[in-house]
Amino acid sequence: MSLPAIRISGVAKRYGTLQALGGVDLEIGQGEFFGLLGPNGAGKTTLISALSGLVRPDAGSLEIMGHDVVADYRNARRNLGVVPQELVFDPFFSVRELLRMQSGYFGIRNNDDWIDEILASLDLSHKAQANMRALSGGMKRRVLVAQALVHRPPVIVLDEPTAGVDVELRQGLWQFIRKLNRDGHTIVLTTHYLEEAETLCGRIAMLKAGKVVALDTTGNLLRRFATHSLRVRVDQPGAALAAGGRTDAEGWIVFEFDAYAEVEGLLARLREAGAGVRELQLGEPDLERVFVEVMNRA
């Protein structure tokens, strides 16, 4: 049996009275596309900082490809590439110079062929000689992705990689990341765009207040927590609400159900109540509704 790409055992971290991580246990297999989700302040960035050695946990241990992050930091770091949430860059160098320096940090020389491949994949070739200061926010984010990949790490952590990024770049970035995953790289993604996580991630952990409150495959989470919805616009909203509906943010009356066989009965209830259905939509379960339900239960 192969080693997990990431093993997190009983990791806890406090900042004064704030418990950032409250005993996290997690294993991520090699080759997984794994989602790490949670509201702001849930502990996601602290956990990533602990994985990359920037934060020392108060308790527990973290391993990357079998290498302990504290005891064997050099090998652990060599096996990990992190795309940070913040746009951190050196303003005095061109894109290529920056990637060559990043290669040097890992003792890699003559890395231009791989740098060229990364630049082409991220549509950065035409910016290779540009100074970092001259790049737009979206371009700078692409360079952060390139920096994380320059030493060919088997494990890649993406912390909100598409925040503030235009649609075209987002699609191109995911195309490239999917290819890396198909080639065997383990991908760990944190994102507030839950439709991205639903589409990309095979398995998901949800954090709240520094603890894992849900962990399962994406499909199982959708089946366990989310319900279908019938959304209607009616002539008599009061009658529809009396029949058991609720109003959503867009003014639709919503009825939730588990199986499509229930739709006929819901429509009969509305007819009997004299609601007068003018328009209807059927909604599939989605990760956003799962997320809200899990957070409320937790």
Question: Over the stretch 112-139, which tens digit does the pLDDT of each residue have?
Answer: 999 999 999 888 899 999 988 888 888 8
**Orientation of helix 112-121 relative to helix 95-105, angle to 10°:** 130
Q: Please indicate, yes or no, whether residues 100 and 247 belong to a single structural domain of this protein.
A: no
pLDDT of residue 87: 78
Of 223, 246, 276, the residue at which a domain comes to its end is 223
DSSP-derived secondary structure for 264-293: HHHHHHHHHHT--EEEEEEE---HHHHHHH
Cα angle value 152/158/160 (rounded, 5°): 155
Q: Please indicate, yes or no, whether residues 186 and 236 belong to a single structural domain of this protein.
A: no
- Measured over the CA atoms of residue 71, residue 149, residue 175 and residue 130, the dihedral's sign is positive
In a domain, 1, yes or no: no
Number of domains forming the structure of the chain: 2
Does residue 282 surpass a pLDDT of 90? no
**Of 213, 295, 289, the residue nearest 256 (C-alpha):** 289
| CATH classification at residue 127 | 3.40.50.300
Amino acid code (one letter) for 292: V
% residues pLDDT > 90 (the chain): 49
Does residue 1 surpass a pLDDT of 70? no
d(CA 254, CA 241): 9
Does residue 150 surpass a pLDDT of 90? yes
Q: Please indicate, yes or no, whether residues 147 and 215 belong to a single structural domain of this protein.
A: yes
d(CA 245, CA 258): 15
